[in-house]
Structure 1
Amino acid sequence: MLNARDLRFGFAGQPPILDDVSLSLEAGEWLGLNGDSGAGKSTLGQLLAGYLTPQAGTVTVDGAPLPRRGLRPVQWLPQSPELAVNPRWRVKRILEEAWTPPAALREAFGIEPDWMNRMPQALSGGELQRVCVLRALAPDVRYLVADEVSSMLDPLTQLDLWQGLRQIADERQIGVLVISHDAALLQRLCSHRLTLSDGQLYREPPAEQPDAQIATAPRQSPR
């Protein structure tokens, strides 16, 4: 289980963005998070993945702190994929920075063979986002924080991306925190949803069964 307990974080000279925030994400669970712009959703995602250090509180995976080195078991996927890659590396090296996905999985994510020798700026935003999602699915990854990863994509590409991610996450029982302003998307994907407002997390009423066009929801452990 990914556990965040009593997190507090603020930037220098500013009031805390997050104050005493706690959440848990179980293996195989899809949890939604929404909130206004500037509420701290991306900050929370970076804290969960170890990109930022909380001023107070803890983040643990199965009771152990996040590792300081190597591939982290929690991966944060930002909205803008170009910020997550080295612009001087070709796609093959970008993927193999984390692992070497098999050809069948690259095909499932719509990654064409000729992309492997391209530079990231030669791909569209949607194409590069697929590369970043696949890179984040290395075998040792247990949890994903998907931070508005499909907001720049057209509806068909969104569907392809979420279907591919759902299939792999369900097979490997990867827990996914989906951050989005799109309430309809969260309702389709997630069985539980949270709202971040004024530095606090609030649980929303249980969602209906996620949309069958995306995929069948994983089994949820009692809360």
Structure 2
Amino acid sequence: MLNAHRLGFRFSPDTPILEDISLTLKAGQWLGLSGDSGAGKSTLGKLLAGYLMPQTGYVTLEGAALPKNGVQPVQWLPQSPELAVNPRWRVAKILREAWTPSDAQCQAFGVKPKWLSRFPQSLSGGELQRVCVLRALAPEVRFLVADEISTMLDPITQLELWQALKQEAQLRQLGVLVISHDTALLERLCPQRLHLSGGQLKPY
């Protein structure tokens, strides 16, 4: 179980982004998060995954603090995959940074063998996003924060990516927080949904 306990965060003293945020994400649960631009959705996702430290409150995984070393059990997947990879590494090394997926796992996410010898900039945004999602599924991972990961993808690629992720999450009972402006997408994917506004979480 991933818990946020009364999180608070602000980028300046007079501009609170998040105030007193608490939520629970269970194993196997798909939870949707919507909100206007600048509402703090990505900030909350980064706090949950340990990419940012809360200024007030804390995050726990099964009652303990997030680990500081090794592959992190909570993975944050950003909208722009090119920002999440080393452009000097070939795709095979990018994947091996976290783990070595099987051929079947690569096939499930549409990662083609010929991509492995390429550099990230030679792939399209959709192709690179497939690589980044697959990289985030190391055996140690238990929760995913999917932050607008399909916004820039064409409809077919969106469908294929979410279908593959759904199957993997169901198999491993991964908890997934889906952050999106697309309320129709959230309704299709997530039985439970929340809306972030004015630094507060509200039922959607």
TM-score (norm 2): 0.99
Give the number of aligned pairs: 204
- Superposed displacement of residue 13, structure 1: 3.8
Deviations for 1:133-164, whole angstroms, at most 9, x for unmatched residues? 00000001000000000000000000000000
Ranges in structure 2 where 5+ consecutive residues have no aligned partner: none
The reply on whether 1:184 has 2:184 as its aligned counterpart is yes
For residues 24 and 203 of structure 1, what CA distance do their matches in structure 2 show? 13
Q: Which amino acid aligns with 1:75?
A: Q
What is the CA RMSD across the aligned residues, in angstroms?
0.6
- Please list the CA deviations of residues 101-159 of structure 1 after superposition, one character each: whole Å capped at 9, or x if unmatched: 00011011111101000000000000000000000000010000000000000000000
More strand by share: 2
Q: Give the equivalent residue in structure 2 for 1:11.
A: 11
Q: State how far apart, in whole Å, the 2-side matches of 1:184 and 1:176 are.
A: 17
Could you tell me which amino acid in structure 2 is paired with residue 64 of structure 1?
Answer: A
Q: Map Cα deviations across residues 184-213 of structure 1 (whole Å, 9 max, x no partner).
A: 000000000000000000012xxxxxxxxx
State how 1:55-204 maps to structure 2 within 5 Å. 55-204=55-204
What residue number does 1:50 align with?
A: 50
Q: Relative contact order (alpha carbons < 8 A, sep ≥ 6): 1 or 2 greater?
A: 2
List per-residue Cα deviations over 1:59-118 (Å, max 9, x = no partner).
Answer: 011001001111111000000000000010000000000000000110111111010000
- Aligned residue for 2:134, secondary structure, equals helix
Query: Which AA in structure 1 matches 2:78?
Result: P
Q: Distance in 1 between matches of 2:33 and 2:200?
A: 12
Specify every segment of 5 or more residues in structure 1 that has no aligned partner in the other structure, as ranges: 205-223
Amino acid at match of 2:124: S
Q: Which amino acid aligns with 1:95?
A: L
Superimposed CA distance per residue, residues 1-58 of structure 1 (whole angstroms, 9 cap, x where no aligned partner):
0000100001134421000000000000000000000000000000000000000101
SS of the aligned residue for 1:87 comes to coil
